[in-house]
Amino acid sequence: MENISVPQHVGIIMDGNGRWAKKRGLPRNMGHKQGAAVFKKTINWCRELGIKCATFYAFSTENWRRPADEVEGIMKLLRQYIKDIRAAAKENIRIIIIGDISRFAEDIRDELINIQEDSKNNDGFITAIALNYGGRAEIVKAVGELVRAAADGNLSADDITEDMIEQNLYTKEMPPLDLVIRPSGEQRLSNFMIWQAAYAEFLFMDVLWPDFTKKDLEYAVEVYSSRDRRYGGV
């Protein structure tokens, strides 16, 4: 992998856990468990490839619609995930949580806040985890902040810029999104970073997330580096 341009910020939609389990006659939550193990490994692969920042879509604002036992299983797993995230934070990795964590149990919420606080000066790599995240909800939140500023007399409608919206997104301290990878064969964003993906490159892969390997990530980076990003120019 020489002479290739590596994306600074990669977004990964970790999809296909349920199908992975089904194929093996296992309960869906076993797929989530396996998916969590791959998440942990992928953080290191990203670093090894020279990526600066990766955002992992773990739970969407719409995923609450799933059966209660599946959501419960995911919450249990999240407590496990948190230990892995803690360990990552010890390796100079900064953890950023994107999404509305107020809906999670108090112990999970507190731990997520602490991890972010404890790792905020780490400058080796950024791992962002999207939890109860929805791109639309994120934009609504940003608009709310601007309306509040306007109501306080600090902003008028004609002065609103794209940058102001961006400064009120969860991703304000992260580089722009360069590449979105979605395993599992689905070809949609499912409400992932809809603002940030405006000029991102997309790669949809047939592999199910629990089967995702370092080779798959290398392939994705290679494909990315062959793309011609024009941003509307020539």
Enzyme catalytic residues: 15, 63
User: Which of ligand IPE, Mg ion, none is residue 111 near (CB under 5 to 8 Å by kind)?
Assistant: none
Distance separating alpha carbons of residues 232 and 121, to the nearest angstrom: 36
Q: Which range in 10-18, 21-29, 30-38, 221-229 contacts Mg ion by CB under 5 A?
A: 10-18
Of 15 and 138, which CB lies nearer to Mg ion in the complex structure?
A: 15
Give which of 35, 116, 121, 46 is closest to 77, Cα–Cα.
35
CB 210 within 8 A of CB 35: yes
By CB under 6 A, is residue 184 in contact with ligand IPE?
Answer: yes
Nearest by Cα to 116 from 90, 145, 94:
94
* Residue/partner pairs of 45-48 with CB below 8 Å, 24 or more apart: 45/214, 45/217, 46/10, 46/125, 46/217, 47/93, 47/124, 47/125, 48/214
Q: With CB cut-offs between 5 and 8 Å by kind, which of ligand IPE, Mg ion, none does residue 134 bind? A: none
Part of the chain binding Mg ion (CB under 5 A), chosen from 4-12, 15-23, 93-101, 160-168: 15-23
Q: Which stretch binds ligand IPE (CB under 6 A): 11-19, 98-106, 111-119, 167-175?
A: 11-19
- Closest distance to Mg ion from the beta carbon of 229 (Å): 28
The DSSP secondary-structure symbol of 15 reads: -
- Asked whether position 15 contacts Mg ion by CB under 5 A, the answer is yes
Q: Is 59 in the site for ligand IPE (CB under 6 A)?
A: yes
Q: Are 32 and 69 in contact (CB under 8 A)?
A: no
Asked if 104 interacts with ligand IPE (CB under 6 A), we say: no
